[in-house]
Amino acid sequence: MSPDRKNKRDEPGPTAAEPAEPGTRGLARRIAKAGYATRRQAEEMVRSGRVRVDGMRRLDPYMTVTMEQEIVIDGVEMTEIIRAYYAFNKPETVSTHPMGHYDRLLGDFLPRTVPGIRPAGRLDAGTTGLLLLSNDSAWNAAAASGHGFDKEFLVTVTGIVSDNQAEVMAAGVQLPRAGYLHPTLVRIESRYDHNSIFRIALPGAKVRQIRALCAAMHLNIERIHRVRIGPIKLELLKAGSYRALSQFEIEGIREGV
């Protein structure tokens, strides 16, 4: 073989991308990690020209930046955000989504001095009560999932809830779309001529599951009010008000207790 001819096996092939240096990450990811937006929102911020890095407008949300570089969003320098966690008592006429058509948006009630605060999950227009909020996306995901803890509701229905209906719900009900629901608590709180209120707790419960259960039991819902998520209780928090969570409550959600 001629010495001028190279064995193709000896030719250098394409190399993998070099790993990012310690202390670096993509621009949009850094914005999201700092708590200013979700990853998708951060990418849109960059693409729309709202972000400058070291004084220059950057449009690539995936460009690598170091912790030492200055990032400015809408003319304000970005800083690492201190994590904040709140319990909020959602009134009926509040939307958790900017496209909602209710009287007020959730953001109208929240502290303006803490950027990046978002709800952990959502409650629909007809549901009131406990909603958890933070600027920690991983914590919000854990709180919304409900894995490892119960969510508790007070449900007001038209007419009388019989002891037999309560016993059937407590024993567990197989529903066509919601699956098998086995409450950890079912207790009738009050009965009146026109309606009844019962308390129910379900592991990781979603409001739609409560609605499906009541439909299966032929109970017409008037109101659903969430009063507990895991170790966090609504208690005497007034509608439209929020309070900071204790470290015990924060860790309780994180650990799924």
Residues 90-141 have pLDDT tens digits of 988 665 555 544 456 777 787 777 777 888 988 887 899 999 999 888 788 8
- The whole-number pLDDT of residue 126 equals 80
Mean pLDDT on 173-197: 91
Q: Choose the catalytic residue: 54, 60, 108, 124.
A: 124
State phi, psi for 188 to the nearest 5 degrees.
-75, 125
Range scoring the smallest mean pLDDT among 28-32, 57-61, 123-127, 227-231: 123-127
Give the number of residues written for the chain: 257
Active-site residue 163, yes or no? no
Domains of the chain: 24-77 (3.10.290.10), 85-146+233-255 (3.30.70.580), 150-229 (3.30.2350.10)
Give the C-alpha distances (Å, rounded to integers) separating 188 from 94, 201, 214. Answer: 28, 12, 14
- For residue 38, pLDDT over 90 is answered with no
Residue showing tokens 């650990």: 255
Q: What percent of the chain has pLDDT over 70?
A: 85
Mean pLDDT of all residues belonging to the chain: 84
- Output the CA torsion sign for 110, 111, 115, 121: negative
- The whole-number pLDDT of residue 69 equals 92
Range scoring the smallest mean pLDDT among 113-117, 150-154, 180-184, 217-221: 113-117
* Gyration radius of the chain over CA positions: 25
In the structure, what pLDDT confidence band is assigned to residue 176 with cuts at 50, 70 and 90? confident
Question: What contacts 73, CB < 8 A, 6 or more positions away?
Answer: 31, 36, 45, 50, 51
3-state DSSP assignment of residue 62? coil
Q: What distance in Å separates the CA atoms of residue 123 and residue 53, rounded to the nearest whole number?
A: 38
